[in-house]
Structure formats: structure tokens, C-alpha cells
Copies of this chain bind each other. A is one copy, B any other.
Amino acid sequence: MSEPARPENTRGSLFDPVFGAGEIAPMLSDHAWLTALLDVEVAITRTAERYGRATSDDVAAVAAAAARIARELDPAELGGLAAAGGNPVIPLVKILRDRADAPATAVHVGATSQDVLDSALMLLSRKAGGYVLGQLRAAADAAARLARTHRDTPMVARTLGQQALPTTFGALAAGWLAALDDGAAEVERAVNTLPVQYGGAAGTLAAVHPDGPAFADTLADLLGLARPLVPWHTARTPITRLASALGIATGSVSKAATDIVLMAATELGEVAEDAPGGSSAMPHKRNPVAAITARAAARRVPGLVATALAAADHEFARAAGAWHAEWETLTDLIRLSGGAAHQLSVCLGGLHVNPDALSRNLGLTGGAILAEKVTAALAEHTGGARDIVTAAAAAGTPLDRVPAITEHLGADRVRELLDPTCYLGHAGDLVDRALAHHDLTKGSA
């Protein structure tokens, strides 16, 4: 009977919740692997029945044995057995054959270890990838709500860390939304095309000739995976595509999370998370923990994408290392991406926006961010416009109190020119465009 994993050997349960991976981690656990490997084996026997290579009794026996093994076999025990051959499928097939009341030939029909492991990885990726997608969409929905609510809330746009010109919080959030929608689209595309792997030891489907391609397609259908053009045992684009999509999407997550962390700074105080991390010793602290940990998870993604891409050079018909390097790299990638997206969805979903702080910061330079507009208007009256305005700005004098300006424009006109709400451009239109696209995307999803 299965014993629980010895706690001194396990990892993940301490830090996964911190990085938002509490929900996704079980979809990629050792037990999830075991179940997926068995699901593939059962589907192979089921497919074999369709092509007269196994009986319905065999299917029942193999399915029953697989269910027992999934319940009872400790993944750590399988791991120990896996070391000798370098993958867990070799011992798992032996166990399944031993325990199933069916001939050995009805198990693992025409398959090689890589077929089962790759297909199981695709099953995990489809399920957990679907979760990532859901979290990305939740984050995008939250960004959309923020963009809609604050469509016309003025704030200052900062470039290179410096206050530049007015914009709106809605426009900022619309940028998050567009990037998140893009990222989600990449993940959706990659997840929806994950193919089954089935080619046999040499990738020729020789063991099930003449049923090979049909066998592979049936297997794909049974597992709910895409039908492959040809076996992809050494053509790893399904894996590099998924890894890249997660990298793209997580890049979008990190953009929004970074803005939140900066805007939540004590000095800016423009946003706060709904449940910021506090400190008993420092009651004034409101750490934007969800955004912080989203960033942290996101920072770990690009290196893993590089590993996945660099592992594409599978030599010959099964790579001696590059293949094995993909397994945990991909599950780590999915888990971290899902965690980052989850944390961002939590962060944005409960975000408190402080319009007063936005307004206060927007006014910080006393209109200097719009001085150029005064210069332009003044230039119609005097050739020294730029010098006059620059001198006043440097001296910190409010422009509506500079006689050399007001004699031409009038103080009211100057104040109007300096009014940030009069220079928001298409901020609102851009919000509307991003929202319309988001709604369209959701409709098609």
C-alpha cells in the first residue's frame, strides 16, 4: 500500500503558497505525473483494442490495475526504480504488466518510454496550462475593470522615472490589459495544440504497422490531445512553443506587477493592495505582497525558457540528456507562470486606487510638466518664449504669476494650459479600444 512521501524529502509546500502556486502545484506534482503516465498507458491499451491488438477484457484489466496503482504506488518508490533506466516509464510498465490481469502484449502496445512520458507531459501541460490561462484571463479581467472604472482618472505619466505628461490611470491599466490579452492568446494557442506522442522505439510506428498513424490519431482523441503530423520525439516545437508562450505571458504579468510595486511606494501612495502584508512592528507598512511575489515568480521564468529552448537539439531518435532536461523545466515553468498570473489577478482584483494621491502627484511640479504648452502659446506673442518659461520653471515660479507670461496670455489662460485634464489626448479612446478588444477576445474564447 502507498505510504505518504517522507516529509523530509519533499519540497514545494513551503514556498508554493508564497508564489501563488498553491492551486496549480498539485496539477504538476509527482502524483499528477503518476496519474498522467497511467492515463496514457490505459489509453494505449484502449486504442489497441480498436485495432484488434487487445481485447475489451484487457482494457478493463489494465484500467483497473492502473487505477489501483495510481492510488497505491508511492511516486517516491517509482522514482527509486526509475533511476536505473533514466525514466519512470520503464519500471511503471513492468509494474502495470505485473499487476494487470492481461497479457504483457496488451500493455504499452507499440510504445516506447518517450511516447508515454511525452504524452503524459502534454496531459499535465494541457490541464495546468489551462489553469495558467484562466489566471491570466482573471488578471486581464481585473485590469479591464480598473481601466473602465478609472478611464478618466488623471495621473502623471512617468518616463525614465521622471514625471513627463498627464495621462489617466485607465490608460495605464489599458496597457496592462493589452499585454495580458496578448500573453493569454499565446498561451491559449500553445495549450490548444499540444499533441500526443506516439512513434515507437524508432519513431516509425513499426510495431503497430499498418495501423500506425491511425493508432496515433485515436490515441490523441482518447486523451483529448491534438493529433500529431508525425511523431515529434526529436522535433520539440510543441515544447518550445509552450515554454515561449509562458515566457511572453509572464513578461506581461511582470509589467503590471512592477507598476503596482512602484505606485504603492510610501512616497507615491497611489495604489494599495486589498490585503497588503503588514508588520506588527511597523503598522504604517503596506507591502504589496501579491505584486511583489508575482514579480519574484516572473523573474524566474526567462531562465527556464532559455533552458527549454536550448534543449531543442535532440540528437537522432532520442536525445541523451536534452530530453530529460525538459521534464521539470517545463513543469517549473508552468507552475511559476501560473503562480505569477494568480498573484497578479489577486493584486489587481482587489486593488485600491487612490485618486487623491494620483492628483497630488500630478500637481507636484506645479504645472512644469505642461510648461511646453505655455511656451507654445507664448511663442505666438514673443520670440523669447522658451527662455522666459524655462527661467520661470528653473526658479520654481508658478507660470501664472510670471508677468512676462501673463501680460501676453492672461493668468486664466495660463492656468488652463497647465490644467492636466485638458491634455489627456486619446487616453479615454485607448481605454475603449483595449476594452473592446478584450471583450472580443473573451467572446471568442
Contact = CB atoms under 8 A, between A and B. Distances in A.
Given A204-B157, A317-B159, A361 B237 contact: no
B303 A321 contact: no
A327 B296 CA distance: 10
A26 B213 CA distance: 44
Nearest to A230: B430
Contacts of A424: 204, 206
Closest 9 CB pairs of A and B: A206-B425, A251-B312, A295-B321, A204-B425, A244-B244, A296-B324, A159-B318, A157-B202, A13-B76
Contacts of A16: 9, 79
Given A178-B232, A204-B430, A234-B175, A302 B306 contact: yes
B315 A262 contact: yes
Interface string A277-310: 1111111111111011111111111111111011
A25 interface: yes
Given A15-B328, A255-B314, A261-B320, 7 more contacts: A16-B79, A86-B160, A157-B202, A167-B202, A204-B426, A244-B305, A259-B316
A322 interface: yes
Nearest to A12: B11
Interface stretch (A30-38, A40-48, A49-57): A30-38
A425 B112 CA distance: 14
Contacts of A303: 302-307, 310, 329
Q: Which of A31, A298, A305 has the most CB of B within 10 A?
A: A305
Given A161-B288, A167-B202, A283-B393, A325 B309 contact: no
Interface string A142-183: 000000000000000111111111111001101110110011
A241 B249 CA distance: 10
A300 B313 contact: no
B312 A252 contact: yes
A9 B267 CA distance: 40
A290 B401 CA distance: 35
